[in-house]
Structure formats: structure tokens, C-alpha cells
Amino acid sequence: MTETLASPLPQTLLALAGRTIPLPDLATSTLVSIDLQNEYLAGPLVLDGAEAAVAAAARLLASVRAAGGRVVHVAHAGRPGGFFDRTAARGAFADEVAPRAGEAVVEKRAISAFHGTDLATHLPEPGAATLIVAGFMTHNCVSSTVRTAGDLGHTIVVAHDACATRALPGPDGVVVDAATLGRAALAGIADRFCRLASVEEIVTAPDPADRASRLREDVNAPLLATGAGSSK
């Protein structure tokens, strides 16, 4: 009888390159909140899981604010009377994630939040600190913005449960449901450009000082247990 060997799990390009992206330090990170607007909560562009994603994004936003991190709100600006009309309620940010005074707001008219905007001026130098990305739509503006940020050299963590998308027709005419499309979009950007993490993982991660302290304790524990670290 021939034994069937399990196929190895595929590896991302980041893993193959030996690169790991740590969970962010909220105090030094910049949250880039993309298109969390009312347009996606009702009407023809309503997204599957949009309300849950907004709730997750609100929790993330509150945690970044409490830690003293930087926040940049990105909004798509459409034509007056049309989709994403910024002068109407449909184009406004969802109440739970609305900007506070002093927080940067960047309006875009293209898919990538970098194209034709001053977003880069509100971000740290590439590699200096982590960008945390959340928002809508996963396969579209989130993916495009993350890819551009990665090409610019930024370190990125995407809060996957603070993102959402909608079902679309596939190339064979069969509908690709929102969950499948969203998972594929996230897998695509995580291959090369970012780490994926839940909001829970991000907001409960120990800060760098705690991690260093725990590492020292772990290293010293065997010595202390045997008395090797004493001065006797």
C-alpha cells in the first residue's frame, strides 16, 4: 500500500525571503483608515459584513488613539449627487469612526489612497514605523493602497476583520461571493506586502518594552532556577 504524503503548505514570498513582520506598537504606529463611509453601509454598494468591520475598526481606532498613535482617515470623494458625494450623508464617514479634531483627512479620487493625494506627507518615513491598515473595499482600495505602500518600503499590518468587500461576477459568469473574494484579496497582499492580524491580536499585543522584559525573564529563568545567576 502506497502512503500518501500530505502536501506542504504553500509559503508566502515574505516567508521564503525570511522576513517576518511583528505586531505593531500602537504608540508609534500610524493607522490608515480607508473609505469607512456610509456609502458602503446601505444602498447598491452595501458590503457583506460592513457593520461588523466598522465596529472592529472603531475598536482599533480607539486603541490607537489611547496609545498616542497617529491616525489618517482616507475618504473617497465622488461627484456631487453621485456615489461618495462628500457633501451628503452617503459620503460621510461612519459615525463610529469619524475623525477627531487634529486628525488628518485625505480625500482621494482614485483607487490607491496615494494617487493624486498628499497621503505620503502624513506618514512616517518608510520603514521607520508600522502602518496599520483597515477599511473598504478589501479587493479594491485596501489592496491597491497596501501594494503602493509596500512598494514605497513601508512596514504594514492589515487588520483583516476591519475590512470588507462585496460579491462580484467571476470570469465564467459565476458569482464570487464576498467572503471568497475578500479572503483571496487578503491572501494576495499578504504574499508580498503585509502581515494579516485581527483587531484583537493588534490591540492586545504586548508593547515592545513588555516583550523585551519577558524575553529577558525567559532567558534568565533557567539561571535563576539553578542559582547560576547568583553572586554567591
In a domain, 137, yes or no: yes
Phi and psi (nearest 5°) for 132?
-105, 125
Told to judge if 141 belongs to the known catalytic residues of this protein, a careful annotator would answer: yes
How high is the mean pLDDT of the chain? 90
| Mean pLDDT (whole number) for 176-200 | 98
Q: Residues 141-161: pLDDT tens digits?
A: 999 999 999 999 999 999 999
Told to judge if 161 belongs to the known catalytic residues of this protein, a careful annotator would answer: no
User: Does residue 56 surpass a pLDDT of 80?
Assistant: yes
Q: Residues 15-39: pLDDT tens digits?
A: 999 999 999 999 999 999 999 999 9
pLDDT of residue 206: 86
Q: What CATH number did the domain enclosing 112 receive? A: 3.40.50.850
Specify the pTM.
0.87
User: Does residue 208 surpass a pLDDT of 90?
Assistant: no
35, 161, 163, 194: which is the annotated catalytic residue?
35
Q: Residues 94-119: pLDDT tens digits?
A: 999 999 999 999 999 999 999 999 99
Distance CA 86, CA 96 (A): 17
| Mean pLDDT (whole number) for 62-67 | 98
User: Does residue 180 surpass a pLDDT of 90?
Assistant: yes
Indicate the residue type of 7. S
Distance CA 214, CA 205 (A): 13
Told to judge if 48 belongs to the known catalytic residues of this protein, a careful annotator would answer: no
In a domain, 228, yes or no: no
Give the residue with greater pLDDT, 164 vs 232: 164
> Which strand (E) or helix (H) includes residue 184?
helix 178-192
Our count of domains for the chain comes to 1
pLDDT of residue 12: 96
Candidates 170, 98, 124, 164; CA nearest to 27 is 124
From edge to edge, which strands make up the β-sheet containing 155-164? 104-108, 70-76, 30-34, 130-136, 155-164, 195-197
Distance CA 69, CA 125 (A): 15
CB 197 within 8 A of CB 20: no
Domain range for 25 is 13-206
Distance CA 79, CA 155 (A): 33
In a domain, 211, yes or no: no
95, 108, 151, 163: which is the annotated catalytic residue?
108
Give 112's DSSP letter: S
Distance CA 7, CA 35 (A): 39
Residues in contact with 78: Cβ distance below 8 Å, sequence separation at least 6, in sequence order? 84, 85, 86, 91, 109
141, 161, 163, 194: which is the annotated catalytic residue?
141
Candidates 211, 196, 181; CA nearest to 15 is 196
Give 140's DSSP letter: I
pLDDT of residue 4: 61
What are the grid coordinates assigned to 52, written together?
Answer: 461588523
pLDDT of residue 5: 64
User: Does residue 222 surpass a pLDDT of 70?
Assistant: no
CA 224, chain centre distance (Å): 41
pLDDT of residue 2: 57
Helix intervals (H) in 49-177 = 50-67, 143-151
Q: Return the bridge partners of 154, or none.
A: none
